[in-house]
Amino acid sequence: MINVRLLQFGGRRAHLGLLLAATLAGPAIAAPADEEIAVTAERLNRSVLRAEAERFVRKAVADTRNNQNARFMKPLCVESIGVTAQVGSIFITRVTEVARHVGLAIDKPGCAPNLVLVFTRDAAQLIKTIGKRNSRVLDGLPGPDRAVLKRPGLPVRWWHHTAPEASDGRQFAPAGFGIGGVQGDVTYNNYARASRIDEPSRVAITGAVVVVDIGLVGAVTPAALSDYIALVGLSRVRMEPANRPTPSILQLFDPGGAAIAGFSPQDELFIESLYRTRANLTGAQQRAAMAGYIADEAVKATSTRAK
């Protein structure tokens, strides 16, 4: 096992390539002091790194919407509920820091929140109450996602609302018909342009909720929990524990797992790749682009270290 000390954004990072290189390296063998030792190592090529990145991305991202991976497009506005302003600011500050790092704009003070962090002592009951009071809040979620969301015992759970929009950000136009004269839910992209490369639309996260069960998070540090919240809030990752990628901050609550300080190098490159690749691609194309970004960054890191 290799213990990698993870640094925060803005510092010198341990990238995927460095982690893989360290992990794949064999154990050191002691030799007599008077012997001359020549150490050789195989440099990981881009294809190996890309294959590892593809596996990570495939396990991390949730099912696509409109055959595309969603992300926040408009400025982020984060709010916390259920804790004091002082405690909430710890998590809001970290989520905002990560958002800025990946190039997402931050809305002005007093903005309408589009990412809400809810802290409660009974998350499962809260979800049931929400469903009873306003069932439409969760109607947009696929059945399997709703089932996991309502499952007891999850320390953190989340959901995202999404909407398709034109590739330049303009909203789809509503259809001019409905049932009984009532406006229907069908919309059209009136701003599409013909292209063999790009899709005429993209999918935006219009709102997200992260629910933290205070009684179930245990002894994790605020720093680790903040990174966990940032990852699941800013990206639509899978909530089902059996399908999580590794190594990842998403393993934070695994029973008997090693202590996790924060983002793994893969987590950091994953969230970067989501926001730094084009959104107007098919889901498969974007996942491939994300894996390519991660591999390229890993190659850069290994090349820099070798100099």
Digit-coded pLDDT (tens) for 162-196: 988 876 556 655 544 444 444 445 454 444 454 45
CA pair distance 23, 247, nearest whole angstrom: 12
- Is the model's pLDDT at 104 over the cut of 60? yes
- Whether 198 and 167 have beta carbons less than 8 Å apart is answered as yes
Q: Which of 69-73, 140-144, 160-164 has the lowest mean pLDDT?
A: 140-144
- Is the model's pLDDT at 98 over the cut of 60? yes
- Whether 72 and 235 have beta carbons less than 8 Å apart is answered as no
- In whole numbers, what is the pLDDT of the chain averaged over residues? 79
The more confident residue out of 141 and 269 is: 269
Identity of the highest mean pLDDT range in 7-16, 28-37, 234-243? 234-243
CA pair distance 267, 12, nearest whole angstrom: 15
**Residue spans per domain, the chain:** 42-306
The more confident residue out of 168 and 47 is: 47
Residues 12-24 have a mean pLDDT of 35
Residues 82-97 have a mean pLDDT of 97
3-state SS, residue 248: coil
The more confident residue out of 72 and 241 is: 72
- Considering the chain, what percentage of its residues have pLDDT values greater than 90? 51
The more confident residue out of 141 and 41 is: 141
- Whether 237 and 160 have beta carbons less than 8 Å apart is answered as no
The confidence score (pLDDT) of residue 167 equals 65
- Is the model's pLDDT at 199 over the cut of 80? no
The confidence score (pLDDT) of residue 172 equals 52
- Is the model's pLDDT at 30 over the cut of 90? no
The more confident residue out of 81 and 38 is: 81
Per-residue DSSP letter, 241: G
The confidence score (pLDDT) of residue 240 equals 84
